Chains A and B, each alone.
Chain A
Amino acid sequence: MAKAFKKRKVDVGSVFLYTFLTGLGLLMLAPLVYMASTAVKPVSELFLFPPRFFPINPTLINFRDLLLITGTSFVPFSRYIFNSVIVTGGIVTLGVLISCMAAYPLAKHDMPFKNTIFSLIVTALMFSPMVLQIPQYLMISQSGLMNTYFAMILPYLAAPIGIFLMIQFLKQIPDSLLESARLDGASEWKILWAIIVPLLKPAIATFALLSFIQAWNDPYPAMMYTTKEELKSLPLAIQSISGGAGVVARVGTSAAASFLMIVPTIIVFIVTQRMVLQTMAHSGLK
């Protein structure tokens, strides 16, 4: 932003901007706040009339119920969390690595079949994941990967979304920067690590966040590729515990479960967004 005319326009424009953003922001946040408040409402307040937004006597009883139900099953609750962390961690780290490595040549090198591969990726973006599940299942079971962590990680590593996002960001990076590195004698591998990855941090953070959210919230891999209870993941466990959406008897517990699911995603969001904002401050792109 040019500072010269920012000072002049500070009054009306900024006040309007802040009011608008704050108002809309709070409106967007309201349903979430409501969910959090439902999670701490005692049974006596859940169906109160007239309905209330905030609880009068907040309680942790819903969380206790949730843990009690799972405590009686034969796999400890912490095992689900552990599985989810392993699978999600694997998908995020390996996925980011693979996408970075592949996006760089696709965006910045000129080689045969480049355009073919790129259009294949864009096309794959549009095929509904739901139908791919059956053939994917067949491949996993034929290759003997059933009931391993690999089965829940491998199919999600080559994400067309991530590679497309990174290619679009790489287009913003000037070629001259890479050219000068090459003249200085840097190998392609070196260029990737020393120049591309630092500059790509906003895209990497964005994609890491996205793939974390997807992997964390997705009950399907555990549902399809495992038959053993000790390999199940958190969303699947919570889904089967809370009895599905719309079950009246467990509104509080189900809100508590949803709340527990969302907290890690918010934490990851905060961490990755910090990364994005910080990169801007000292980005090599000037």
Chain B
Amino acid sequence: MPKLDFDIITLGHGSGGILTNKLLEAGVFDLLSNPLLDTHHDGAMLNLTGRVAFTTDSYVISPVFFPGGNIGELAVNGTVNDLAMCGAIPKYLSLGFILEEGLTMAEFWDILVSIKGASERAGVQIVTGDTKVVERGKGDKIFINTSGIGELHPQANISIKNVRAGDKIIVSGHIATHGMAIMSVREGLEFETSLTSDTAPLNHTVLALLDEFGQDIHLLRDPTRGGVATVLNEIARDRNVGATRVGIDLKQAAIPVLDEVAGACELLGLDPLYVANEGVFLAIIAPEVADAFLEKLQTLDYGQSAAIIGEVVAEHPGQVVLTSRIGGRRVVNMLVGEQLPRIC
């Protein structure tokens, strides 16, 4: 951390004056330096060719430091992954901070270092940004917005329109790990666990799959907030899907969940299907290549625990139906509001 004459963020650091300048020069620009950011212009002037994907996301998480990561790398990985799910090669990110008065410079520095590390791992450049400071009590230490631009992979043709009955549903790794890692450090709920968040950049993994399987990858989605159940319901309910509406069949026994995660969910009365993920994606794949896709994915970073968990079907259009471990069948519905731990 650079030597600074302040150790906490004050309202002045958002004023646009000298303090803002000190914070940016010492904290942000030096650390995240790259030719585009170093121009210090009002915006970034970029060179892009062909089809482009563009996305934005805001990160509000409590606590901002959690087992396995912090809000900084989450903000980079999240937007990188959103681009990857479009079949894009992430290139440039913007970074918007809303800092709460009182945030320590040490904490901010740790977050910045994580941002730098995450952007290097993902191979993206942070080229423009913004910093505001809000009064104490009006933020949760720090909120981050990241927008990202990427060039679409030449083979990518990822669209809900491509989804059809017979397609296989593949999950790239253990589900619900991130959500339970966060919950394990939530105030009032702290429980001892070795769980860490699975936050990770998925772009390299996805691009390797696109190189090989191209247009047979019909859809990619990262099941963050709302979990796997929500994403699959969105697909089943989407009116733009294929030629006719589809249903989804899931096999509970095939869905990878770490024992520790399953145990924690059990205790709290939560269903892992609805718990948030950060380093996991769902792929809807043409059936002819599904096995080969899975085999390849299992050799790639973040894909070792991948599994085929279900199938797109013509039956029960609009619904996700799960075959339970014991062979019973039931609907997996959209969640109403937030999943809350049960009373007994």
Q: Do A and B bind each other?
A: no
